[in-house]
Chain A
């Protein structure tokens, strides 16, 4: 059983507008999968349908071989999630949020070590609301990794991070991947996607327009830079 994530025919509409349209893919264990697309292309909705926080109108989802809607509690012991709009209790401090999260799992990672690794080791006693955007983003990556997950979902991985912090996040994720972690991410930074992802899927208005590796995407479009290939495939140039 080497498939960590499996989706087939995933479809979701709001008020008659199809946001995710027959999306199918599978992610091998121990690989990094990137879901790409412009704002509003349906990435976040797709993630929510995968996780079961939104009910898909049609399609099948299997996470680690299980149905996230039916086996929620067992499954989310082994899965970490960072939502794009991750939120927290109004007055909570970093240490309290980490402690609350860690106590939910049987064998959590040491959150103090993670915080230091992600450069917020000196912020543990700070209020989460007083963190900068980048610090908060790193905190939510830490929260997603605390469960010692087999699969981690990271929506808008490094939005708001400076160049150095991004490199450090990549490094940590790569070392976790070597240990067998499966990573599902969305990102708007093509250098990041190129550096991290084994396979990508590009969404355009909810429809998958490309599935394969970064070199394949470049070859297909005859582009030297991946960003050009991405823009070509996501058809943003034509839309603009």
Chain B
């Protein structure tokens, strides 16, 4: 366990020096949320709504960090350390692939949590209230995060090189970022488009977070939960199975 924290501490320091992840996973979601706060303030989501526009958007803002960490940062970090032959050096030490992947995943969990924390503080300025239950909201946040990170783990684990990882990451990251309700609320999209984007796993996670945050009737939650858990297990399993040192 001590070993795990030494690695986590070192990798976090390295990524702070590089500044990519603090910007994309913590500062960017915060900036977007603050802009929404300035634009909408404490206005209701729509006429007669029992919650404000910002309350409706809180889950989506959290998802920006999850998306940046899981689909952009994580695959790049893993394939970069392979390309730089850092993994080759680890191969002739007693370290296991599960340990190395675990450290990387933990690092992005820290970023997502840091983003959640800063967003929660920013939310105080516009009197955003958690109307639903905290454990349920945190549960959906955790589920969205873990399932998204596991996709990133798989991409980083099996991509041939950093370039390929970057391409796959962009293909996953940008459509999900724009269309799954992170930056653009699903509610403002045309109906047909809403139907398509609901197929993204991240869309499910965001709507789960939104529903638990706003205490709305979530409808059938069992299906998205099962899909996301199944996706996580599958991706983590494949990432470990097909882990490449070089």
Binding site for B on A (CB under 8 A): 51, 53, 72-74, 76-77, 79, 81, 83, 85-92, 96, 99-101, 103-105, 147
List the B side residues contacting A100 at CB < 8 Å.
6-7, 10
Interface-forming stretch among B13-21, B128-136, B176-184, B192-200?
Answer: B13-21
On whether A53 and B245 interact (CB within 8 A), knowing A89-B14, A100-B10, the answer reads yes
Q: Which residue of A lies closest to B85 (CB)?
A: A87
Binding site for A on B (CB under 8 A): 2-3, 6-7, 10-11, 13-14, 17-18, 81, 84-86, 88-89, 91-96, 245-246
Give which listed residue, A73, A99, A147, contacts B10 with CB less than 8 A: A99
Give which listed residue, B84, B88, B96, contacts A89 with CB less than 8 A: B84
> Do A83 and B14 touch across chains, with their CB atoms under 8 A apart?
no
> Do A76 and B93 touch across chains, with their CB atoms under 8 A apart?
yes
Q: Which residue of A lies closest to B7 (CB)?
A: A100
List the A side residues contacting B93 at CB < 8 Å.
76, 101, 104-105, 147
Give which listed residue, A74, A87, A96, A147, contacts B89 with CB less than 8 A: A87
Give which listed residue, A72, A77, A87, A92, contacts B88 with CB less than 8 A: A87
On whether A91 and B18 interact (CB within 8 A), knowing A103-B2, A103-B6, A103-B7, the answer reads yes
Given contacts A88-B86, A88-B89, A96-B14, 4 further A-B contacts (CB under 8 A): A88-B84, A90-B18, A103-B7, A104-B94
List the B side residues contacting A86 at CB < 8 Å.
85, 89
> Do A92 and B10 touch across chains, with their CB atoms under 8 A apart?
yes
Q: How far is the CA of A51 from the CA of B89 in the complex (A)?
A: 11
List the B side residues contacting A89 at CB < 8 Å.
11, 14, 81, 84, 86
List the B side residues contacting A91 at CB < 8 Å.
14, 17-18
22 CB < 8 A contacts A-B: A51-B92, A53-B88, A53-B246, A72-B91, A73-B96, A74-B94, A83-B85, A86-B89, A87-B85, A89-B81, A89-B84, A90-B14, A90-B18, A90-B84, A91-B17, A91-B18, A92-B10, A96-B10, A99-B6, A103-B3, A103-B6, A104-B93
